[in-house]
Structure 1
Amino acid sequence: MMQTNNRTQTNHRLPQRLSRTLLSALAGIALGLLAVTLFSGLSPVSVVAESGSSPDHVRDETLNQVALVVVLADGAVKTQCVEFAEEQISSTEALSRSNFEMVAATTSFGTAICAIDGTGCTDSNNCFCDAEHYWGFWQQSAGEWVYAQTGSDDAMLSNGAVDGWVWTPLADDPASSPPAVDFDAICGDGALAANQVDLVVQFDQNATVVRSVEFSAPISGLGALLASGLEVEYAVSDFGATVCAIEGVGCPEEDCFCRCAGGDECALWSYQYWDGANWQSYEIGVGGTVISTTGAIEGYRWGEFGAAMTPVTQTLAAQNALDFVAAAQDPATGGYGGLGSSVEALISIGANLEQSMDWRQSMDAPSLLSFLMLYGAQYTDVGAIAPAAVGKMATGAAGADACWPVGAPVPADFYDETINAYSEHVGINLWAMLGAAAFGDTIPAPALAGVKESILPVGGWEWMDGFGADTNTTSLAIQALVAAGEPISATEIISGLIFLKGAQNDDGGFAYDPASTSSTASDANSTGYVLQALVATGEDSQGPNWVAESGKSGIDYLMDAQLEDGSLEWQTGAGSDLLATQQAVPALLGRHYPFVQGSFTQPIERCDALYVPLLSAD
């Protein structure tokens, strides 16, 4: 049984952001170059893009093309267009030149295909390890699939040919052919960006990431998930494919239901779709669905069966905000003008688990990572506020998988046992604590005690002595206390939450200083920070405790502040604001600092430990 997802929604495309899957192949080259090369970007590279990746495909009219269709064990359909200069190439050669991961063996009958993209027998010395399946080889003739009458070595392809490979049960008679798809759908102009599906992945009650996947031929739910660039583990059984883990959250494929063994609780990955108003559960598995049109929205939720997903509207608001952030990147440097804005961008993309090495305007443009590798140490060389700068950059690096710039200090370098803090100033100390947590450091107990002691009688924290309590610093303090292991029932955390509630306005947003005599108007930056504190403490930001008398919540305020281009206003009527947009993204995605509350972040490593520059011969 196949279930089709052909719903039409607003198209939320992620412009100019390149897929992790595609760019990981370039990582060793791009990041192994001399620093000046990193700054100026990659040299143009000819790339054959897999269906679902996002770079522009520039057609070289002097080359021939063949289309490949591959159906994996779970039913996932993948397509690629392969270019070649010869008049003809064999089907074996076409498959080997594609981006598919192919395992083959040489036999007395010619080349045997053992595995494609992990489906099949991945050891070429044991190519026929599965006695019940084989790779069925098909070719199109006059638009119809015909089972190949020769081996792939002898099948010669000319421009416009279409080959198909299907992982086929031996018992199938007749064998299953690939889905109906023509050459133009895979290799024609615009084929690589014909359709788009949005994927929403929710790791817990709040933490969410969003991806867009482009495809030409109809694609299964699992095929879209595998093309998203997220790390996925799945298992295939007689009942079809089951998602086991996404970005390390879940179970290994060999024990896909490890969280359901014994006891009354059972955590697993549920598979859902957005029907335009609500999330609905699919009646079949992830390998059996067919996504055929632009605008479909798929959802994955880790948790007990029936666990609710966040309404997609706020997730798509985050996606649109990230679109705006992406478009604002400087194509010449990979940065965002000033160093501070570049680090804010790192934090916003880190909230969505975007790869900083992939965050670039085009294939030959420098990435945000390359910019920070060059200038990150300079960003932290700012005297008394250096601990905060280091902490901020570490917070973003943990989520965006960025290495640590050479020459930049780490949070631990600033800890002073004479004052039991990273800085004498409260706000600077808090950012350093969050950065230390991002590095995986244990926060010293005296530092934790110092934060608790610095709370003011009104229940909030101030940036520096004499400044007075504000919502931003208080929100950072709550997140730092939680990151350091303080229970959410602690008196200081509860007092901080009460202070924050007192700063909420009837529009649902939060003011910077609720005691200000000049303005207590809501602003997007403060509202975003408060929402992160609520997430850190397990509060329902849209529950009755955090909804104003008007019925508006903080999320409502941020969505009301969003303009048509995806950006947010700092305050109503103030116009598009990049900083407000950047700082709203974590809140809209239900993420709190330091982006390490799950297993889906990577440890921060030093750039000089990962990349060895090539020295010039001059």
Structure 2
Amino acid sequence: MGKQLRRALVGMLAGAVVVSGLPSGAVTRRERIALGARYIASRQAADGSVPGFSAVGGTADAVLALAAARRGPEAVADALAFLEGEAAGITSVGQLGKVAMAAVAGGGDPRAFGGVDVVARIQGAYDPETGRYGTDQGVGVVDQALAILGLAAAGAEVPRRAARWLAEAQCPDGGWQFDAPYDPAVDDRHCSSGEDDFSMSDTNTTAYAVMALEVAPPVRLRRDPFRYFDLARDGIKGGWRYDFRRRPFGSLAVTDANSTGLVLQAYAAAGEDPPPRARRALAALQYRPCGRLAGAFAYTWVERDGRWVRSPSRAEARAEAGSGGVTVIGATVGALPGLAGVPFPVPEAGPLRAPPEAPAC
């Protein structure tokens, strides 16, 4: 297969899958991606930031999405300027990894970014005894993956011990959870230690881990992470939910844009075709391509009166944009790299084209 993650699997062979195209219609996948970039740029603040659960993480993610779409030169430049202004105050090794990736994808220098050597900051957080980056117990596994991706983006060496730490954090079900590595003394096969443990294996962290291990020195994996993706796939809409549970909080969980986008990136990183309907499932979450929401993605689906509708609805999404909410912009930022088939780290995009204008409704 020519990809080290697949070579690393112990005695496992992945089954062949079929490429699924987008549904025929007026809007092509390329047009969907370009319009998605348009929506991201439209949500950018005057200071260059893009709304997210954190200003730095959301803006770095937006740069990666725009670079994957090869659209939005002004938006990328403004976003990088914002991140440069924030660089000195970043303490999270995961955010440093995202910023290093964003700097490279946007044509910047992560070793001289706002007066900060982001690469050296990541390297300084490394413990050679354990192989771990950072000390935050709450996001240890996802931080490890992002640190590796940031170093790889910058062309810096990734220690084999760091890759081994990430590989050994894998849960017995093939996935990874975002906070702590698997502990056989207390965890079940999903890395859950009981009713009070709200973290367990999830598609998002697993996708980050797959992408990180693809760009790290080869290490031995005991389980096939793509079996976890099979376990967590939504059989109704064809994409992926956040984790393997069908009813995590009492209601049915179906395809969401962020999880599906990340898993599609993991397939691209491993050189594998995604399952049938997967790309179509992601594209279906995009709102009607016109007006203020042209290019935007809903987060997921909800069942109302016996039919599936996007959530947030168009009306809710318009209201959210006006109030600075993050669900729709976060879903759009998360969807674009997966729809484009571009894994992390996103390479330097080179000259970017301007996003298209929004068609009238």
Task: Using structure 1 for the length normalisation, give the TM-score.
Answer: 0.41
Amino acid at match of 2:82: F
Alignment of 1:155-170 (within 5 A): none
Q: Does structure 1 residue 540 correspond to structure 2 residue 273?
A: yes
Alpha-carbon deviations, 1:447-500, whole Å to 9, x = none? Answer: 11111111111111111135211001111111111011438xx645x6101101
Kindly indicate which of the two structures has a greater share of residues assigned to helix.
Answer: 2
Q: Does structure 1 residue 461 correspond to structure 2 residue 176?
A: yes
Q: Does structure 1 residue 496 correspond to structure 2 residue 225?
A: yes
Q: 2:263 aligns with which of 523, 530, 539?
A: 530
Aligned pair in 2 of structure 1 residues 580, 355: CA closer, same or farther (>3 Å)?
closer
Q: CA–CA distance in 2 between the matches of 1:376 and 1:354?
A: 24
Alignment of 1:426-505 (within 5 A): 426-465=141-180, 466=192, 467-486=199-218, 491-492=221-222, 495-505=224-234
Q: Does structure 1 residue 561 correspond to structure 2 residue 285?
A: yes
Hey, what does 1:316 align to over in structure 2? 31
Instruction: Tell me, yes or no, if the aligned pair for 1:395 and 1:595 is still in contact at 8 Å.
Output: yes
Instruction: Tell me, yes or no, if the aligned pair for 2:297 and 2:332 is still in contact at 8 Å.
Output: yes
Alignment of 1:5-24 (within 5 A): none
Amino acid at match of 2:106: A
Question: Which moved further from structure 2: 583-592 or 334-343?
Answer: 334-343
Q: CA–CA distance in 2 between the matches of 1:540 and 1:524?
A: 18
Q: CA–CA distance in 1 between the matches of 2:34 and 2:72?
A: 15
Per the TM alignment, residue 318 of structure 1 is displaced from its structure 2 partner at its CA by 1.1
Alignment of 1:159-198 (within 5 A): none
Alignment of 1:89-104 (within 5 A): none
Q: CA–CA distance in 1 between the matches of 2:168 and 2:83?
A: 35
Q: CA–CA distance in 2 between the matches of 1:460 and 1:481?
A: 13
Aligned pair in 2 of structure 1 residues 377, 554: CA closer, same or farther (>3 Å)?
farther
Residue ranges of structure 1 left out of the alignment (5+ in a row): 1-276, 279-294, 296-311, 361-365, 548-552, 603-618
Q: 2:115 aligns with which of 406, 409, 415?
A: 406
Q: CA–CA distance in 1 between the matches of 2:280 and 2:43?
A: 25
Alignment of 1:241-280 (within 5 A): none
Instruction: Tell me, yes or no, if the aligned pair for 2:80 and 2:103 is still in contact at 8 Å.
Output: no
Alpha-carbon deviations, 1:254-306, whole Å to 9, x = none? Answer: xxxxxxxxxxxxxxxxxxxxxxx79xxxxxxxxxxxxxxxx9xxxxxxxxxxx
Instruction: Tell me, yes or no, if the aligned pair for 1:314 and 1:555 is still in contact at 8 Å.
Output: no
Instruction: Report how many residues are paired.
Output: 268
The residue matched to 1:526 in structure 2 has which SS? helix
Instruction: Tell me, yes or no, if the aligned pair for 2:298 and 2:331 is still in contact at 8 Å.
Output: yes
Instruction: Tell me, yes or no, if the aligned pair for 1:377 and 1:408 is still in contact at 8 Å.
Output: no
Alignment of 1:213-224 (within 5 A): none
Alpha-carbon deviations, 1:488-526, whole Å to 9, x = none? Answer: xx645x610110111111211101111363253221100
Aligned pair in 2 of structure 1 residues 353, 397: CA closer, same or farther (>3 Å)?
farther
Instruction: Tell me, yes or no, if the aligned pair for 1:315 and 1:588 is still in contact at 8 Å.
Output: no
Instruction: Tell me, yes or no, if the aligned pair for 1:462 and 1:474 is still in contact at 8 Å.
Output: yes
Q: Does structure 1 residue 509 correspond to structure 2 residue 243?
A: no
Q: CA–CA distance in 1 between the matches of 2:159 and 2:165?
A: 10
Q: CA–CA distance in 1 between the matches of 2:63 and 2:124?
A: 22
Alpha-carbon deviations, 1:536-578, whole Å to 9, x = none? Answer: 111111xxxx12xxxxx22111111001221001112322400
Hey, what does 2:354 align to over in structure 1? none
Q: 1:374 aligns with which of 56, 78, 85?
A: 85
Alpha-carbon deviations, 1:355-407, whole Å to 9, x = none? Answer: 75x327xxxxx8222222222333x23xxxx1100011112222111342223
Per the TM alignment, residue 340 of structure 1 is displaced from its structure 2 partner at its CA by 3.0
Per the TM alignment, residue 341 of structure 1 is displaced from its structure 2 partner at its CA by 2.3
Alpha-carbon deviations, 1:66-99, whole Å to 9, x = none? Answer: xxxxxxxxxxxxxxxxxxxxxxxxxxxxxxxxxx
Hey, what does 1:359 align to over in structure 2? 75
Hey, what does 2:355 align to over in structure 1? none
Alpha-carbon deviations, 1:184-215, whole Å to 9, x = none? Answer: xxxxxxxxxxxxxxxxxxxxxxxxxxxxxxxx
Aligned pair in 2 of structure 1 residues 517, 329: CA closer, same or farther (>3 Å)?
closer
Amino acid at match of 2:123: A
Q: CA–CA distance in 1 between the matches of 2:217 and 2:171?
A: 21
Instruction: Tell me, yes or no, if the aligned pair for 2:60 and 2:102 is still in contact at 8 Å.
Output: yes
Kindly indicate which of the two structures has a greater share of residues assigned to strand.
Answer: 1
Alpha-carbon deviations, 1:313-372, whole Å to 9, x = none? Answer: 222211111110111112x3222253332222111112234575x327xxxxx8222222
Hey, what does 2:43 align to over in structure 1? 328
Hey, what does 1:141 align to over in structure 2? none
Q: CA–CA distance in 1 between the matches of 2:132 and 2:349?
A: 26
Alignment of 1:223-238 (within 5 A): none
Q: CA–CA distance in 2 between the matches of 1:499 and 1:336?
A: 32
Cα RMSD between the aligned structures? 2.6
Instruction: Tell me, yes or no, if the aligned pair for 2:240 and 2:260 is still in contact at 8 Å.
Output: yes
Instruction: Tell me, yes or no, if the aligned pair for 2:169 and 2:176 is still in contact at 8 Å.
Output: yes
The residue matched to 1:505 in structure 2 has which SS? coil
Larger radius of gyration: 1
Alpha-carbon deviations, 1:153-195, whole Å to 9, x = none? Answer: xxxxxxxxxxxxxxxxxxxxxxxxxxxxxxxxxxxxxxxxxxx
Q: Does structure 1 residue 339 correspond to structure 2 residue 56?
A: yes
Per the TM alignment, residue 413 of structure 1 is displaced from its structure 2 partner at its CA by 2.1
Residue ranges of structure 2 left out of the alignment (5+ in a row): 1-23, 181-191, 193-198, 289-293, 302-309, 318-327, 351-361
Hey, what does 1:394 align to over in structure 2? 100
Instruction: Tell me, yes or no, if the aligned pair for 2:159 and 2:217 is still in contact at 8 Å.
Output: no
Instruction: Tell me, yes or no, if the aligned pair for 1:350 and 1:398 is still in contact at 8 Å.
Output: no
Q: CA–CA distance in 1 between the matches of 2:175 and 2:151?
A: 22
Aligned pair in 2 of structure 1 residues 517, 459: CA closer, same or farther (>3 Å)?
same
Instruction: Tell me, yes or no, if the aligned pair for 1:355 and 1:400 is still in contact at 8 Å.
Output: no
Q: Identity rate of aligned residues, in percent? A: 27
Select the structure with the greater relative contact order (CA < 8 A; seq sep ≥ 6).
Answer: 2
Amino acid at match of 2:248: T
